[in-house]
Amino acid sequence: MNKNNRWLLPEGVDEILPPKAIALEKICRELIDLYITWGYEFVIPPMIEYLDSLLTATGEDLDLQTYKITDQVSGRLMGIRADITPQVARIDAHLLKEDAPTRLCYLGSVLHSRSNSFADSRCPLQLGAELFGHNEVSSDIEIVRLMLATLDSLKINNVCIDIGHIGIFRYLISESKLNPEKKSEVFEIIKRKAKDELQYLFKESKIDDNNSKALLDIIDLHGDVTVLDDAMMSVAKFFPEIKKDINEIKILVESLSNQSDLSVNVDLAELRGYNYHTGMIYTAYVPNEGKGIAFGGRYNDIGSAFGRARPATGFSADVKQLLELDSRIVNNENRIFSPKSSDIKLIKKIQELREEGKIVIEELEGQKHNAIEMKCNQSLVFENNNWIIKDNKKI
């Protein structure tokens, strides 16, 4: 690297500067405090783990996103976490070992070996909440409500939540009797919603007519809640086993009916996290943002890999992304400039202001920069035998 370019960061790696850095820190504190009021206990998993633990039951996608390094102590392969959720599942299954439902929340940096899309950060600041030990729709409802409360606390408006159910496709593809290679092809085609391509594949494959029709139908089953009635009359007509999955979505959607400023979309062909999730999945979107801003879903199988199967559901978000959407003013704090002085009254005044949470910048010996150059909008001035605060524009 040219020495003139030593300041450059790797592609997709970013840093947060003032005043955004303190705004980000405040958001983190605010959201963790919110989760604690809901009964979620805070955990701090390590940045690196042995690879066989870090990638347990997570699928190929996370494996590709994980940086691998060799432990210089043990010689074993380790990974830098690309997702905190599996770590929290390990903590619940292997360390806490509770029988009752467990609520955990977390916050930490993750590192991706590649960006998910152009201009995406490879080092998100991941925030999330997970609920372990409960396998009913009510726990999914709680997680979605907490996800929406997260966005509401940041005054992020006009949210649309997209809801799907991995169980529907998982059951239909298991009944297809296709070989693993063909199943993978069907999966990729449905992800693209390429109906014509899927029809052509089915013509070349030996698959039951009802099964092929059901897999074709779910591509078109997206829209408002009436999609669920259509699914009951079409797909579930021949495969009644998926009625339970459809009803779960309906219960979740109905629970959100009293949420103002929220639109709900159902998409039965949404397959995000297919190798990881087992039930309902949900993604929050807002206008003018080309990607989701919060992601969640049920993942009941991951705990078994750690020796203790526990149903689980949760959500996560990148706080850096949420910061850009926070509609509140983030840099409205006063900064108070204090002149250099050994006056006991001034020293006491500065101490009192800092105890109140005020920002006070003290002038240094020999400093030539004035209050405005120090980004202060107020100053301490000595008047009538007291140190008082004045706006710099009035001095």
Question: Which of these three, 272, 296, 325, is where a domain ends?
Answer: 325
Whether residue 316 sits in one domain with residue 339: no
Contact 84, 108 (CB under 8 A): yes
108 with 41, same domain? yes
pLDDT digits (tens, 9 = 90+) for 204-229: 888 999 999 999 999 999 999 999 99
Measured over the CA atoms of residue 179, residue 180, residue 184 and residue 185, the dihedral's sign is negative
Is position 354 within any domain?
Answer: yes
In the three-class reduction of DSSP (H, G, I as helix; E, B as strand; rest coil), residue 216 is classed as helix
Q: How confident is the model at residue 3 (pLDDT cuts 50, 70, 90)?
A: low
The length of the chain, given as a count of residues: 395
pLDDT of the residue at 292: 96
Residues 45, 134, single domain; the answer is: yes
Q: Count the domains in the chain.
A: 2
Residue carrying structure tokens 């919060």: 294
| Burial (CB count within 10 angstroms: exposed 0-12, middle 13-18, buried 19+), residue 336 | buried
Q: Would you state the structure tokens that stand for residue 115, as one six-digit string? A: 């960006």
Give yes or no: residues 374 and 312 share one domain.
no
**58 and 151 inside one domain:** yes
H-run or E-run covering 107: strand 102-109
- Look at residue 26 and tell me if it is in a domain: yes
**Residues 363-376 pLDDT 10s:** 999 999 999 999 99
Indicate whether 313 belongs to any domain.
Answer: yes
pLDDT, residue 42, reads 98
d(CA 134, CA 311): 6
Domain span holding position 99: 13-158+286-325
Strand order in the sheet with 386-391: 359-362, 335-338, 378-383, 386-391
- Has this prediction a pTM greater than 0.85? yes
